[in-house]
Structure 1
Amino acid sequence: MANLKQIKHLVSRAGFGMSFEDLKAAAHLSTGEAVASLFKDSADYQPITPIKENFDYVMAVKGDPGARKMAAQKQRQQERQLNLAWVDYMGTAKGQLREKMALFWNNHFACRARQSMYDQQMLDIQRRNALGNFKTMCVEVSKAPAMLQFLNNQQNLKGHPNENFARELMELFTIGRGHYTEQDIKESARAFTGWGYDKDGEFRFRRAAHDDGPKTFMGQTGNFTGDDIINIIFEKKQTAYFVSNKLYKYLVNETPDPAHVNAMADVFYNANYEIKPLLEYVFNADWFYDDKNIGNLVKSPIELIVGLNRQFSIDYDRPAVIMQFQRVLGQVLFHPPNVAGWPGGRNWIDSSSLMYRIKIPSTVLNGGVIDFTGKADPEDEAFLATQHNQQENVHLRVQTRPDWDKFLSSIPKSLSKTSIAQFMLEPKISAALTHSINSAADIKAMVIELVSSPEYQLA
């Protein structure tokens, strides 16, 4: 299996890691065939729709205290449903590549909605377009209630323009800081006046609220609408470069190689912002498999949790504990810290989160107790206030059932302990870990040692 190292690296970046079952399927594939297989497995879009009912949270909180309490409970319940449904799907779906890219786009177009239905609509857009056309996705995101609400475009009206969305569209979503002027922001905001949504969460262009006067944007003048602004931005190759640079950090290395990013931008721009040709170019590039790009990225908390689920087929008796994992590790889906999203990379690691990162995998696989210390996300406090006996320090028995029989039986009998470790970890194995591997009483004990190692935190 001369290509195993490359294929393993490919799946760790284009998905959430290989299982020993995947190893059997990849035994006779070339790297190019493995790339094609990833796209084939992710070709079909399957919706995730745990939320069946919409409700107006904003109106509810204007009611009496009882209504506010019930609204907060309902909102948090729906948020958990959507969160856990996606985590479960990422951990079980055959199409890893679509979900890995949807996770990227979910953070790229970061927003926090006040209605869970709007979060679900946004996720649908990102998952459906994850391997499609970036410009199409950008237009749909721009018209989604979650984004219109989060960046105040619902209040962007003729004569009283709100610049929040216009600014972030350029700074964070498309062309990047330094490639537009403050005047461009002002003119763009005027073009987006009248964009809003109705009580049913449907996009509405409110013509009476739209500034239909001439606007000058990036050197062009016309009676521009929001769609025109997006068209002009996407005519600039810098947009392809900005997104390619961000994708390089997500898929390849935190330190971008300008020549490689330029080549990616060429492919992306010439493909009219189709995402699939860009990813195919990256995954088939020789430099993608350079040693310096292997085992060098810190797994995000979601990647860590999902990777464990895929590897060990874990059933959680109390799925809510997955929410607690996300909180203590610093990444609660649909709750980014701000419009810039999670910075990622080495920022995932600090003294507190590293302790939990080392503890959680072994606890999950061994059915142990874990002590969660720390306050909840500020927006969780309304929900937590409704719970009885909520303490700052919470001792929880994780109550998981990993399928050890399935895992152990999937390991080829010919593999030594060292080979098993080399397959499960992306970085090179240290001397200290090698000693622990060889000292383990059995394979199960050794595997628990592996997932508790710093090396397991890297992809």
Structure 2
Amino acid sequence: MIDTSLLNNKHLLWRAGFGAGINQFEDLKNKDSKTLIKELFKEENFSEVNYNTPDVETIDYMSDKSPAEKKKEIQRINRDQNNELNLNFLNKMINSNEQMREKMAFFWHGHFASRVQNPKFNRQLLNIIRKNSVGNFKDLLFEVSQAPAMLNFLNNQQNKKDHPNENFAREVMELFTMGRGNYTEKDIREGARAFTGWGYDKEGVFAERKKLHDEGIKTFLGKAGNFTGTDALNIILEQKATAKFITAKIYKFFVNENIDENIVNKLSDSFYTSNYDIKKLMIDIFSSAWFYDKKNIGNRIKSPIELMVGMMRTLPMNIQNPENLIVYQKLLGQMLLYPPNVSGWPNGKSWIDSSTLMLRLQIPQIWSGLRPLEYSPREDDDIDMGMKSRENALNKSFKNPNITIDWARVEKAFNKKNCEDYLIQNQKSLDMDTVKNFSDNSVKMDVINLMSTPEFQLM
């Protein structure tokens, strides 16, 4: 019978972070949840995610190239910079002591979904989200809404008086704040007028272009006035529907996809009263007895990023070709910086189909060098992320990942422990006899085989 404190602490570390790091296994039985929550929310000096790939402007040889060659070279540099951003964000999730900051940033990265090619814009938006991830939702909303990446992605650069573009206003209300059913089509039109003139300059700095702003009276969410974009966001935040929508989405992601209306209503009221204090909301969730109910443990399918990061936190590894991790993201259907659309990534069973499940189950063996990677996306397949070409990709080997795992450290961490108690959240359907049949009784093979079970896909 698994120890209750061990089960609860694992649950907390998976939901409020990306699972226990190998250095945390020893304490999982001994620490109380309050201490663990304090550690999860402990803040260090904020450090931005960046890239070191040279910018286009610094490359001298561009002047000798034709326009077509320059365009292709710029695309390559942008891709390299975005890939570096991707891997550096992934590294934060794996190694940062601020697990709650990075897990919340991962959540907001899907909530405030944008996909642009400009790596400077991507870097700026990513760091806005990371900086404010457990801060105040109002600050986060304003900074995201004024970020060039979002204004570009949702076409607000083209939103001008006499020719309003409704895309930005619609998505801000539908996806970022209030949710459908809490506003009208007229609110979208009037909101778009309020956001006219919001854009950015050549340097990628937010600008309120007053000459392009509609200064007429707008009627928006029951109020009338000469509203600006700032006014529109403030009015949106005054709506209790906004607190309810955000709270419900957070509950689905961090607790259970099946919402408990009574709990969400209480959390939502508190969130609204606190003036949208994200940290308080999350502490309220993780400190509640209901968070640790059996129905909430081991009921979520890990997203590809959660699966990969969790494995890398458990298995200390040296990766000579980290760019391969982007290949895995493409193959599994979740590439950081490339959400499928403005709604972000779907969750739950949508992560699993016959092809992705097979690869998910094989990754522990591939990373351990026991089998080759036999899947490959098309080259430069940024749009489809390998999805359409998967049937053509089978049996095409990809270069060796060159991953070296420190198995001696893993053996030490699991010494005299039941590996399944630390690696599997819900053991009800786990057949340990079958797992042992494929093992040589070593910790290494026990860990690899447990990570290769369907049960390991759940958290």
Question: Considering the TM-score relative to the shorter chain, is it more than 0.5?
Answer: yes
The Cα of 1:26 is off from its aligned counterpart by 4.1
Rounded Cα–Cα distance in structure 2 between residues aligned with 1:392 and 1:6 = 41
Question: Pairwise mapping of residues 159-238 of structure 1 onto structure 2 (< 5 A)?
Answer: 159-238=162-241
In structure 2, the partner of 1:291 is: 294
C-alpha deviation, 1:440, in angstroms: 2.1
Cα separation, 1, equivalents of 2:79 and 2:100: 29
Cα deviation digits, residues 281-332 of structure 1 (max 9, x gap): 0001111000011001011111111111111122211111101100110001
Alignment partner of 2:245: what SS?
Answer: helix
The 2-side partners of 1:296 and 1:376 are apart by: 35
Q: Which one of 4, 7, 10 corresponds to residue 8 of structure 1?
A: 10
Per-residue Cα deviation, 1:70-120 (whole angstroms, up to 9, x for no partner): 111111111111011111121111111111110000000000112011000
Inter-CA distance 313–354: structure 2 relative to 1 (3 Å threshold): same
- Residues of 2 paired with 1:187 and 1:52: CA distance? 42
Contact 2:187-2:221 at 8 Å conserved across structures: yes
CA distance in 2, matches of 1:235, 1:380: 37
How many residue pairs get matched? Answer: 443
Letter in 2 for 1:449: N
The whole-number CA distance in structure 2 between the counterparts of 1:77 and 1:23 is: 36
Q: Match of 2:20, SS?
A: coil
Alignment match, 1:448: 448
Say whether 1:77 aligns with 2:76. no
> What secondary structure sits across from 1:397 in the alignment?
coil
Q: Does the Cα contact within 8 Å between 1:367 and 1:398 map onto a contact in 2?
A: no
SS at match of 1:75: helix
The question of whether the paired residues in 1 share the 8 Å contact of 2:419 and 2:446 is answered with: no
Match of 1:314 among 317, 325, 337: 317
Contact in 2 for aligned 1:301/1:330 (Cα 8 Å): yes
Aligned twin of 1:386? none
Tell whether the 8 Å contact from 1:111 to 1:335 is kept in structure 2 after alignment.
Answer: yes
The correspondence of residues 243-322 of structure 1 with structure 2, limited to 5 A, is 243-322=246-325
Distance (Å, rounded) in 2 between the aligned partners of 1:241 and 1:142 = 20
C-alpha distance in 1 between matches for 2:394 and 2:9: 45
Query: Which has the higher mean CA deviation after the structures are superposed, 434-443 or 142-151?
Result: 434-443
Counterpart residue number, 1:49 = 50
Post-superposition shift, 1:405? 1.5
Q: For 1:331 and 1:451, locate their aligned partners in 2 and report how far apart those are by CA, in whole Å.
A: 20
User: Which amino acid in the other structure matches residue 343 of structure 2?
Assistant: A
State the TM-score, normalizing by the size of structure 1: 0.92
Q: What is the one-letter code of the residue matched to 2:71?
A: R
| Residue 366 in structure 1 maps to residue 365 in structure 2 | no
How many angstroms apart in 1 are the aligned matches of 2:435 and 2:261? 40
Larger deviation, residues 207-216 vs 14-23: 14-23
Q: 1:2 to 1:300 in 2, by over 3 A?
A: closer
Identity level (%): 43
Structure 2 CA distance for partners of 1:29 and 1:229, relative to 1, 3 Å:
same
TM-score normalised by structure 2 residue count:
0.92
Match of 1:385 in 2: none
Matched residue SS, 1:370: coil
- Indicate conservation of the 8 Å contact 2:53/2:81, yes or no: no
| Superposition deviation, residue 64 in structure 1 | 1.8
Are 2:410 and 1:407 equivalent residues in the alignment?
A: yes
Partners of 2:326 and 2:45 in 1: CA distance: 28
The structural deviation recorded for 1:28 is 3.2
Instruction: Tell me the residue number matched to 1:120.
Output: 123
Query: Is 1:436–2:435 an aligned residue pair?
Result: yes
- SS for the counterpart of 1:393 is coil
Residue aligned with 1:401, SS:
strand
Does the C-alpha gap of structure 1 residues 354 and 115 become closer, same or farther in structure 2, counting only changes over 3 Å?
Answer: same
Shift of 1:269: 0.6
**Superposition deviation, residue 371 in structure 1:** 1.0
Query: 1:19, 1:311 within 8 Å by CA — same for their partners in 2?
Result: yes
Q: Distance in 1 between matches of 2:56 and 2:260?
A: 47
**Partner residue, 1:30:** 32
Q: Which residue of 1 aligns with 2:390?
A: none
SS at match of 2:41: helix
Q: Please give the secondary structure, in 2, of the residue aligned with 1:168.
A: helix
Structure 1: runs of 5 or more not aligned: 383-389
Please give the alpha-carbon distance, in whole angstroms, between the structure 1 residues aligned to 2:148 and 2:245.
Answer: 25
Relative to 1, partners in 2 of residues 1:54 and 1:137: Cα closer, same or farther, differing over 3 Å? farther
Report Cα offsets for 1:246-295 as digits up to 9, x if no partner: 11111011111111111110121111001000000000111100001100
Change in 2 beyond 3 A, CA 1:453/1:254: same
Q: Aligned-residue CA RMSD in angstroms?
A: 2.2
Rounded Cα–Cα distance in structure 2 between residues aligned with 1:52 and 1:138: 30
Tell me the amino acid that sits aligned with residue 38 of structure 2.
Answer: A
Distance change in 2, residues 1:199/1:256 (3 Å): same
Q: Deviations over 1:341-379 (max 9, x none)?
A: 101111111111111111112211236411114546754
Deviation at 1:66, TM superposition (A): 0.7
Cα distance, 1:35–1:222 mapped onto 2, change above 3 Å: same
- List runs of 5+ in structure 2 lacking aligned partners: 386-392
Q: For residues 190 and 326 of structure 1, do their structure 2 counterparts lie closer, same or farther at Cα, with a shift above 3 Å needed?
A: same
The aligned amino acid for 1:105 is: W
Cα distance in 1 between the residues matched to 2:120 and 2:239: 34
1:431 to 1:167, Cα distance in 2 relative to 1, 3 A: closer
Instruction: Sort the Cα spacing of 1:239 and 1:380 in 2 relative to 1 into closer, same or farther, 3 A.
Output: closer
For 2:164 and 2:139, locate their aligned partners in 1 and report how far apart those are by CA, in whole Å. Answer: 25
Alignment of 1:147-158 (within 5 A): 147-158=150-161
Q: 2:5·2:28 contact (CA, 8 Å) conserved in 1?
A: no
> In structure 2, what residue type is equivalent to 1:50?
Y
Cα distance in structure 2, aligned partners of 1:55 and 1:185: 38
Give the letter aligned to residue 457 of structure 1.
Q
> What is the CA distance between 1:43 and its match in structure 2?
4.8
Amino acid at match of 2:30: H
